[in-house]
Structures are given as structure tokens and as C-alpha cells.
Structure 1
Amino acid sequence: MAGGRHSRNPSNSREYSRRSAHIRLDSRSRSGRGSDRDPSVDPPRIPVLITDDDDDEDIRTPPHARRLSQSRARRLSREQRERERERNSSANANPTQTQTRRNSSHRRRSSATRRESVAIPAAAALPAADESHRASRSSKLLEKDRDRRSSRLPTDSAIIPLSEESLAAFNKEEEYRRSRALKREERREKKTMGELKRRKRRSCCILCAVAFVILMIIILVPVGVLVIGKNNSSPANAGGNEASGANSGGGGTGNGIGKAPTANPNTIPTAAKGTYLDPFTWYDTRDFNTTYTSAAVGGLSIMGLNSSWDDSAQVNPNVPPLNKPFPYGKTPMRGVNLGGWLVLEPFITPSFFNKYDKSLGVVDEYTLTKYLGAKQTAQVMEKHYATFITEQTFQEIAAAGLDHVRIPYPYWIVDPVSTDPYLPRVGWRYLLRGIEWARKYGLRVKLDLHSIQGGQNGWNHSGRQGVLNWLNGTDGAANAQRSLDMHGQLSTFFAQPRYKNIITMYGLVNEPRMTALVLNDVLNWTANAYELVRGNGLDAKIVFGDGFLGLENWKGRLSGYDGLVLDVHQYVIFNIGQIAQTHTGKLQFACSGWGTQMAQSNDPTTGFGPTMVGEFGQADTDCVPYLNNVGTGSRWEGNLIFPDPSASVTTPSCHGGVNCSCDVPNGDPAKWSALYKDFLLKFAEAQMESFELAWGWMYWTWDTEDAVQWSYKKGVAAGTLPQIAYERNFTCSDPIPDYGILGMPETF
């Protein structure tokens, strides 16, 4: 039906032209319901019946109900006028418009009826008036009210309320529409949530797949590279757990330091795979060129080197940059040794030796590597090369005001003997990298061949203790020639332009034991080595050792060799007469004794000529464990036992020879007295001043595991060495303290 489900025909409304309302007015107490009170007290309830025909009813209509009646009458009048206008225009009106107006009129009547039905019960709840008061005014008010209704209400008007059935149907349809709308909304929401879940599942699946692919690449590529590039028989890849640790996870071996090689393992020739040239066997790859190369100069590999270099670095304002000549003899060099690195020395790294029972005879690098075997030696020694000296070492040396480094190295990293147990050739790569790190910080390098074929002195720092087969014994001459051939290779290699400014000093052999060798044989070998090195184009200063003959015995020997420098090592602890001096006496000797010797030796008219100190230290005792060999004691405490009884010292050697103790020198430097630290500092500075009367000095050594008095690094930290090498407080012109009077014991 047009116009709405509940519209009615206006023509049928006349039968509802009159309406009656029955209003019951209850008087209620303000304090509660009437059922809770005494009936004799409550006023009687008066029923009121109001109709359009009862004009004489003697009942007063309550004010609220009267106002509702007036409002209702006005609405009925307006509705009657609207119906009249609709009838007048119905003849010309469009049927659809007519029906729309009817529906609108019906809705207005229905709304008015609903408002009235709500208002009348509210009026019924009003309290009843006083009975006597109602009786006096009821007739007048009712009559007046009937007159108003008669004048305002049309007789033919009618109100058509919605029937209960129509209202129920309307409500039911509204409920149905709401339920359908709710279901549609729920379906849309479920569809949206389902789509979001499907998208989320797809995203998760894609991310998981990508992560899986990346993980497989990370795992499989390095494994594949190692499988292809490594030879399982390589010594560098064998051994136990000693090469693993905090630094594991990189390098060419996969369990070392640095990044994996960038080279394609397939480019490495089959013959080179698994050898020291194969970067996939390198424990440490930091700052190495890991591209495989078979190139060599003088028969020595250039492995690990980059093609460019920079010599512009200047270590401090007191010395020129590398690309300018160093004025030796005018400006003193101040340097330090890198002892215990490429060739072991037991007192520097005692941890390599103190783990073994004395009965095993592990006393030097030869016996250690023989005991370990080739596979474990490869792991243990290369890890030591990679970690004992690092780039930070050179940075710290430069920061300490030093300008030179002396790098001891052994023959087996250059020209190994097949029957030796040492790790062959691997240390060569680390030597070359060390030179490049020195270049980076402006440090000049003195190369020092610390061990030679056959052994030049038989001491543990030459690699093999007790063996002196160079220029001595059955193989002495052959070993001497082999060492010359090695110098031919070395000098050819370091004559390359890249080393012209950095390798400024070239040592022939460390501490040849001339007291046990034929002096002329050593002098001839030295002259031959000099000619060989110069003939290969190496312009560096060539250094040879004094052989413990004493500086005064070198005047007139090996003269006429330009650029040949005499190297002397000065200690007070290996001589019974010197070690027994008082602390004050040792300080006086450092100033006057060594000062005089150095000045005399450095003058060609009174000594050899150019002289340098390649080793010295501040220790005034030989207390450090393993200094005199593994398992032996010290001169200081009188328990130094050698296989040769004539070399043993069984009497304490401190001043006075009583209560000599190594506890303080070997103890924690934090517990040293201020007076003892003052002596150690002045003793070191006095030596530096005296040695600078010649070409300068190089301290032994930069670092140790435990021996504070032998470590430049630890001495600076303890306050027993100058913080900056060229900024010192004590000079030999200052008064020398009498430490005995000041109360320092001579027992340590």
C-alpha cells in the first residue's frame, strides 16, 4: 500500500469522532505507598469520569488534565482544517500525491494520539484535591470546560490510532530489517577478517621462505668454499682445540680471525692448495691481500701484500717522515724490540712451557714443536703470530714516543730445514704484515735475523738450546754457506722500492757467540754477507753484533765498510760483578760507565765507529722465571744450575750476598714502594741518555706475559718507564740518590 504499511482511509474516521477518558486520581502520601498507611487517615479516592455529554458532572478536572485537553482540542482543530483542504484539492490532485498527504496526516494523528496516551496516565497520578475545595468549584469549572470543548472541537473530526495488530506488525518488520542489516554487517566483517588472515598467512609464508633461503646461503656458501678450497692434509687445518677460542669464527680456515678470502678457490692451482700460499689455510686474514699469487722476489713470496703503499707518515715531530732520510748519528733513534713473537723466548711467553713436566724436556721452540707435532704446531704457532703482536701494538709503540722497531725473526720462516720441527714459512707472511703496520704509523724497521741455520749461539732464543753448529762442527761450513744464500734472497726481496724508506736497518745475525767460535771465521762471514747484501742493491744500514767481545775490542776491525753499524747489548744482570752492585752503584754505572763506552765506541778514532744498542732493559736482577733457561734458577738467589758446573752460580749475588730474594722484583708492581719505582725509572732514563751518545737504543722488549721489568708497555703503565720516550725527567747531570741511606734494601 502506498504511503506506508499502517495508513488508514480518512473517510472512516468519523465513527471515532468522540472519545472518552476515564481518569482515576489517587492521592498518595509523600512518605510511601498508600497501602502502608491507615485507611482512616488517608483521604478517599474519588473516581472521575469525563465525557463530552456529561455537562452536569460535579467533578473538578485537575489542572494538568485540563491543559492536556486544551492542547488536544487545538490539534484536532488543525487536523480538521487540513482534511478540509485535502478534500477540496482531491479532485485535481495526483493520486500518488493524495495518498502521500493522507499518509502524512495519518502519521500526525498517530503521533498526537501516542502523546496523549502517554500524558493521560501521568495526569491520573496527580494527588487528589481536598474534597471540600473540589465541591465548591467543580460545577463552575466543568461547565466552563464543556463550553470551550463545544466551541473548539468539530463534530465530524476523528483520531485514528494504530491498532495493536498494526503496531506489532510494524515492530516485527523493523526487528526483521534490523536483524538482516546486522547479519549483513557480520558477514562483511567476517569476510574482511578472513581476507586479512589470508593476507597475513601469505606474508608469513613469504617471509619464512626468504629467511630460509638466506639461512641456507649463509650456511652452505662458506662450507662449500672451505670444502673446495681446503686440503684436509694441510698442517694449518689440523690439530686440537688450542687454536680455537674467543677469536674463532673467521680467517681462511674458518676458525680464525678476519674475513674469509674473497678469491675464488678454483683459481688456486692444485699444487698450491693446502700450502702456506693458499689463503684458505690462513688463520688470520686481517689486512692481508687474500688473492692467491705465486709471485716471488728473490725466491720469497709476496703473499698477502697489497700493490700500493704510503711513506708519508711521521711518527712524531722529532723525526722526519718516512719518505725523508733519517739522520743517524745526529738524531738518536729510540726504539723497542718485538721479542718473543716470530721466535719464542721462554721468559717472554712462559705459558708455552710451564704446562709441561720437566721430564719431557720442553725448553725451547725446537723441543716444543717437536713434542706437539706438525699439525698442532701449525695451529698453536700461527695463532700466536696472529694475536701476540697486532696492529694495536704498533699504534701503542708510536704513542709512547718511540720511532723504531726491531723485529727478530728466524731462518725457518725464510729457508726452513726439512728435518726441523718448526712451523715453516707461515711466519713470513706475518713479518711482511708487521712491516706494513709499522709503515702506517711512521715507524722505521730494523730487521734482525735472530736464528740461523745450525745455531749461532746455542741459547733458547735462537730456537734451539745447546746447539752451536754454525761455523762450528761438522756442518758448520755448510750452515754458514746456507745462511749466506738466505741473505742473498732476503736482500733481493727487501731491495724492492717499497722497502727503501721503511727497512732502514738490516741485521746479519743476532748475538753470534764469538767467545765460542773462531773470531776470524765470524769476521770473514760478516764481510761476505755485507758484500752480498750491498751487491743486491739494499741500501739500508747493515748491522752486526759485537759477539760479547767488548766495545773496546772492535777498534780497527771491519773498517772501510760504509754503512756498517756495530750492535751491542747492554745488561748488568748476566755478569756477577755488575749484578752485585748496589742500586746507587748501578745507576752511577749506567751514567758514567756506559756513557763513556758508547761515546768512545761511536768515535772512529777511538772505537769501531757507528754504534747502537740493539737491546737493554731496566731489570737489575735475573729473577724472572725462565730468563736463564726453563727449569733453572737465578744468579740473584744463587740457585742457577747449568749442565756445565763451571757455569752454575750457587752463591746469592745481591749486594752483600745475604737474604737475596726475587719476591719483590717478580711481584705485583702495584705493591712496589715509591723508592723502588724511582730507582727503576732513573736507571732506565740514565741508560737511554748514555746510549743516545751514540746512535741510540732499542729496549728489550715491548711486551711479556708476566715480566713487568722486561716489558716497555707494562713499565709505562707501572710508572717505571717514561710516558713519552723523548720527555724524561732524570739526567746524568742530576745528583744520584743514595738509595741505601734512603732506606731501600739491597736484597731486591
Structure 2
Amino acid sequence: MALGFDEPIRGVNLGNWLVLERWMTPGLFRVSSEADEIWMHRTMPPDELDRLLRRHRETYVTLDDFRAIAAHGCNLVRIPVPYFIFGDVPGHPGCVEFLDRAFDWANATGLKVLVDLHTVPGSQNGYDNGGLTGVCRWHRSPKAVGFALDVLTRLAARYRDNPALFGIEVLNEPVSWLVYRTASSTGAARDAAEARGSGHVPMRFLKAFYRESYRRLRGVLRPETVIMFHDGFRLGVWGDWFEREGMRNVMLDTHIYLVGLDAFCPVHTMWAYRAYVRWNERRIRRAARHTPVVVGEWSLANAMAGRAAGRVEPSERQSAEDRIYRDLAAMQRRTWDAGAGHIFWSYQLRRLRDGSGPRPGREPWSLSDAWRNGWLNVVQR
């Protein structure tokens, strides 16, 4: 592993900073009342949009946050970035200067950075985190595919010599047939004409894109820099493909959420979660025989905590939730270590009004809250 030190990945995502997700900070979308970032950009007056985004990016993540992340035992931040990061897409303000700052902060705090291309033109999954809800047409446009490859190459050239660079993740969550068919966002596009022709990202296309991405990135990056590939919600199908392609120093990213089980299983018990986690452990171990696997997104969100707390006296509800979150945190961290490590989603949701830090709460998607409430043990570095 090319982290620069011999230890598993202990990371956190800086979600909702450079790629916005309405559910994480709904107040940010209040002015536009749109469901996703692309439509926010399309409908807000340009000057007002630029001020809003700059204010958010200036205050949502700071050097103090990097210091806190390092102090709590993390060694890596995964930073989602949009395809318009360089500011060369009309109507979409760029944000590469903030990624530059993140690298400065990482070098100052001893953290490593995984740059994750989180969105592409026309979207690779139809999720709001892909920028454009209900649309998944990127893979059908050679021009859009070429643009994504160009962005990856430019990111590689910009940061290749930066000591904080751990790696570049080629594309976040290109969607499979099953996930696309069952996603609540499928068919929910604001503009039905724009969504026409949407569909899942076929495996044949995905392999071709990964092959070309690797060729371009490895030609720019240092040999020790990791190139990471999301499994496309198909962890079990990759086998020794990366080996057979002759790819060096690559990793496979898989995303595992307890709420993924909640969506299909009406039984919300510790036994069910334990079985689900163990099933995923077996999948990780099989895939890791050929390619190192990291759980690049996971959280403590689950349907059991609230229901269990509702069955006890009000004075005992918080402690009941705390026990469940602690047990699920320990179970997942222990299990995800079957691979190369794990990266929590996300560092925070809402921010204090003065921007001085994450807003305290009991949000299971927030690593800051997990630390504050004792759900996750702090490992001092």
C-alpha cells in the first residue's frame, strides 16, 4: 500500500463540500428549492450562486477540521470533486482552489488525500450525489466520457508531485442494472426529455473506461500513487481482471451501508445486521485475493436504533441508541478490516452558523457526532 506508512486506511469522506448533497445541508438549497446541485446552478442568478458556493466552501471545511481528523486517528481524507472543478463548464463555478487548500492542510497535518471524481456530465448513476437526479446518460456520450478522462488527467498532472496525494479514484458509483432499477431516484428527473435514454452503466463499457482511465493516469502519476476503481455495485464480478490487464498499484472501492439492508429487509435486528456484514466480509475477502479492497463509504445509519429507542422509557432512549451505535460501529470497523481499510461517510452534515466547526448532534451519518457521542473509539496518533 502506498500510503507512505504501513497501516490500514482509516479515513473519512469530506462529503458535501465541493459536491453538494441537499439532504446533508438542506438550508443551502433553500434559495433555489431544487433537488440537486446541477439544477441549483441552472436556476440561480450567477452572481448569487457564486456568492453562495464560495461562502459554503470557505466555511464548511477548514484547517481546524483537518487537525481534528488527524487528532482522532484518521490517516486519509477522501474528497469528492465535480467534473466542473476547473471552472471550464459554463454556468458551473469551479472549485480547484479549495482542493489546493485541502492539499496544503493535509501536508500540514500528516493526512493523505484520495481525490474522487464524484460527478460527470449527464451523471453516472442518477443520484443527487451524481449531480443530476434521475438522469444517467453519461456513458452514452463519447464527448462526456472524453471530458471525464480529461478532468482525471488534469487532476493527476496538478497533484502528481504533492506528497499528500494518496491516489485518484476514477469515478464514484457507476450504477449497475439492479441498483439502477431499484433506486428511488430512477425516473425522478426534473426534465423528462433530458433523462430520455437513461440506463445503467454496462460492465463492458465500465471495463473499457477503467482501462483507458488507468492508461492515462498511470502515464502521468508516480508509480507509487494508487489508482482506485469503484466496483460499480458489482464487487463479486471483478475477480483477477485488474491483474490480467497488467494494472499496477490499484485498489477496488466498495460502498456498504446498513440502510442498504433496511431497504430490502423488514427485519431490523442486530442479528440481521450481523449476517449482512458477515456476508459482505466474505465478498471482500474473495475480491481481495486479487486486488486490495477498501470500504470507501459506510456509516452508522440504520433503522433499528430509532425503533429500539422507541420501546423504552424516554429517559433511557438516548442510552439505548448509544449502545446500538457503538455495537454497530465496532462490528463494522472490525469487519471492514478484512480489506485494506475503510472511509466513513461523512465528516459532518450541518455546520455551526459561524463556521467554527460541525454542529453538535446525534446524526449517524456524521463522524464528528460519532466521536462526540462515544459511538466510535478515538485512536490517538
Mark yes or no: TM-score above 0.5.
yes
| Structure 2 match to 1:449 | 117
Cα distance in 2 for residues equivalent to 1:674 and 1:467 = 42
* 2:170 is the alignment partner of 1:508: yes
Query: Cα gap change, 1:459/1:548 in structure 2, threshold over 3 Å: closer, same or farther?
Result: same
Q: Give the secondary structure class of the aligned counterpart of 2:118.
A: strand
| Structure 1 match to 2:187 | none
How far residue 598 of structure 1 moved from its aligned partner, in angstroms, is 2.1
Of residues 440, 445, 454, the one that matches 2:108 is 440
How far residue 717 of structure 1 moved from its aligned partner, in angstroms, is 0.9
How far residue 590 of structure 1 moved from its aligned partner, in angstroms, is 5.8
Cα distance in 2 for residues equivalent to 1:521 and 1:494 = 28
Query: How many residues were matched structurally?
Result: 343
Q: Give the secondary structure class of the aligned counterpart of 2:68.
A: helix
Deviations 1:630-665, CA, capped at 9 Å, x for gaps: xxxxxxxxxxxxxxxxxxxxxxxx79xxxx96996x
| Structure 1 match to 2:249 | 563
| Structure 1 match to 2:21 | 345
* 2:231 is the alignment partner of 1:546: yes
| Structure 2 match to 1:333 | 9
Of residues 334, 337, 340, the one that matches 1:689 is 334
Deviations 1:723-744, CA, capped at 9 Å, x for gaps: 3379xxxxxxxxxxxxxxxxxx
Q: Give the secondary structure class of the aligned counterpart of 1:558.
A: helix
* 2:53 is the alignment partner of 1:408: no
Cα distance in 2 for residues equivalent to 1:410 and 1:538 = 23
| Structure 1 match to 2:193 | none
The answer to whether the Cα contact below 8 Å between 1:716 and 1:723 also exists between their aligned partners in 2 is: yes
The answer to whether the Cα contact below 8 Å between 1:337 and 1:701 also exists between their aligned partners in 2 is: yes
CA RMSD of aligned residues (A): 2.6
How far residue 577 of structure 1 moved from its aligned partner, in angstroms, is 6.4
| Structure 1 match to 2:321 | 676
How far residue 587 of structure 1 moved from its aligned partner, in angstroms, is 4.4
The answer to whether the Cα contact below 8 Å between 2:308 and 2:320 also exists between their aligned partners in 1 is: no
Q: Match for 2:340: what amino acid?
A: W
Gaps in structure 1 of 5+ consecutive residues: 1-318, 622-653, 727-748
Cα distance in 2 for residues equivalent to 1:466 and 1:532 = 30
Q: Give the secondary structure class of the aligned counterpart of 1:600.
A: helix
Cα distance in 2 for residues equivalent to 1:707 and 1:554 = 37
How far residue 435 of structure 1 moved from its aligned partner, in angstroms, is 1.2
| Structure 2 match to 1:533 | 217
How far residue 570 of structure 1 moved from its aligned partner, in angstroms, is 0.4
Of residues 378, 397, 403, the one that matches 2:69 is 397
Cα distance in 2 for residues equivalent to 1:617 and 1:403 = 18
* 2:287 is the alignment partner of 1:601: yes
Deviations 1:328-360, CA, capped at 9 Å, x for gaps: xxx21101000000010112111123x36xxx7
Cα distance in 2 for residues equivalent to 1:590 and 1:503 = 33
Cα distance in 1 for residues equivalent to 2:53 and 2:362 = 21
Q: Match for 1:568: what amino acid?
A: T
Query: Cα gap change, 1:512/1:670 in structure 2, threshold over 3 Å: closer, same or farther?
Result: farther
Q: Match for 1:710: what amino acid?
A: W
Q: Which is bigger in relative contact order (C-alpha 8 A, separation at least 6)?
A: 2
Structure-to-structure mapping, 1:219-234, within 5 angstroms: none
| Structure 2 match to 1:422 | 92
Q: TM-score, normalised by structure 1?
A: 0.43
Query: Cα gap change, 1:672/1:351 in structure 2, threshold over 3 Å: closer, same or farther?
Result: farther
How far residue 371 of structure 1 moved from its aligned partner, in angstroms, is 2.5
Deviations 1:251-302, CA, capped at 9 Å, x for gaps: xxxxxxxxxxxxxxxxxxxxxxxxxxxxxxxxxxxxxxxxxxxxxxxxxxxx
Q: TM-score, normalised by structure 2?
A: 0.83
| Structure 1 match to 2:299 | 617
Cα distance in 2 for residues equivalent to 1:484 and 1:415 = 16
Query: Cα gap change, 1:691/1:661 in structure 2, threshold over 3 Å: closer, same or farther?
Result: closer
| Structure 1 match to 2:134 | 466
Deviations 1:389-423, CA, capped at 9 Å, x for gaps: 011100110111111110111111126322xx322
Cα distance in 1 for residues equivalent to 2:43 and 2:148 = 26
The answer to whether the Cα contact below 8 Å between 1:544 and 1:565 also exists between their aligned partners in 2 is: yes
Cα distance in 1 for residues equivalent to 2:153 and 2:363 = 38
Cα distance in 2 for residues equivalent to 1:663 and 1:451 = 37
Query: Cα gap change, 1:346/1:662 in structure 2, threshold over 3 Å: closer, same or farther?
Result: farther
How far residue 455 of structure 1 moved from its aligned partner, in angstroms, is 1.3
How far residue 325 of structure 1 moved from its aligned partner, in angstroms, is 2.6
Query: Cα gap change, 1:514/1:578 in structure 2, threshold over 3 Å: closer, same or farther?
Result: closer
How far residue 534 of structure 1 moved from its aligned partner, in angstroms, is 0.8
Cα distance in 2 for residues equivalent to 1:615 and 1:707 = 19
Cα distance in 2 for residues equivalent to 1:449 and 1:577 = 27
* 2:179 is the alignment partner of 1:492: no
| Structure 2 match to 1:368 | 40
The answer to whether the Cα contact below 8 Å between 1:590 and 1:687 also exists between their aligned partners in 2 is: no
Of residues 504, 519, 522, the one that matches 2:203 is 519
Deviations 1:344-385, CA, capped at 9 Å, x for gaps: 0112111123x36xxx76111122222321000010000000
Deviations 1:116-150, CA, capped at 9 Å, x for gaps: xxxxxxxxxxxxxxxxxxxxxxxxxxxxxxxxxxx
Query: Cα gap change, 1:590/1:670 in structure 2, threshold over 3 Å: closer, same or farther?
Result: farther
| Structure 1 match to 2:344 | 699
How far residue 478 of structure 1 moved from its aligned partner, in angstroms, is 1.2
Q: Give the secondary structure class of the aligned counterpart of 1:413.
A: coil
Structure-to-structure mapping, 1:163-178, within 5 angstroms: none
How far residue 707 of structure 1 moved from its aligned partner, in angstroms, is 6.5
Cα distance in 2 for residues equivalent to 1:523 and 1:557 = 9
Cα distance in 1 for residues equivalent to 2:260 and 2:372 = 26
Q: Match for 2:363: what amino acid?
A: V
Of residues 696, 704, 709, the one that matches 2:364 is 709
Q: Calculate percent identity across the aligned residue pairs.
A: 25
Q: Match for 1:724: what amino acid?
A: V
Cα distance in 2 for residues equivalent to 1:711 and 1:491 = 29
Query: Cα gap change, 1:435/1:376 in structure 2, threshold over 3 Å: closer, same or farther?
Result: same
The answer to whether the Cα contact below 8 Å between 2:309 and 2:316 also exists between their aligned partners in 1 is: no
Residue range with higher mean Cα deviation, 479-488 or 694-703? 479-488
The answer to whether the Cα contact below 8 Å between 2:285 and 2:339 also exists between their aligned partners in 1 is: yes
Q: Give the secondary structure class of the aligned counterpart of 1:573.
A: helix
The answer to whether the Cα contact below 8 Å between 1:572 and 1:579 also exists between their aligned partners in 2 is: no
| Structure 1 match to 2:184 | none
Cα distance in 1 for residues equivalent to 2:219 and 2:315 = 53
How far residue 444 of structure 1 moved from its aligned partner, in angstroms, is 0.8
| Structure 2 match to 1:380 | 52
| Structure 2 match to 1:718 | 373
Q: Match for 1:366: what amino acid?
A: I
Query: Cα gap change, 1:467/1:662 in structure 2, threshold over 3 Å: closer, same or farther?
Result: farther
Q: Match for 2:118: what amino acid?
A: H
Structure-to-structure mapping, 1:44-193, within 5 angstroms: none
Deviations 1:496-528, CA, capped at 9 Å, x for gaps: x3x1x3111211010011321221111101100
Of residues 146, 153, 158, the one that matches 1:481 is 146
How far residue 589 of structure 1 moved from its aligned partner, in angstroms, is 2.6
Deviations 1:300-329, CA, capped at 9 Å, x for gaps: xxxxxxxxxxxxxxxxxxx9xx9x8333xx
Q: Match for 2:377: what amino acid?
A: P
The answer to whether the Cα contact below 8 Å between 1:564 and 1:610 also exists between their aligned partners in 2 is: yes
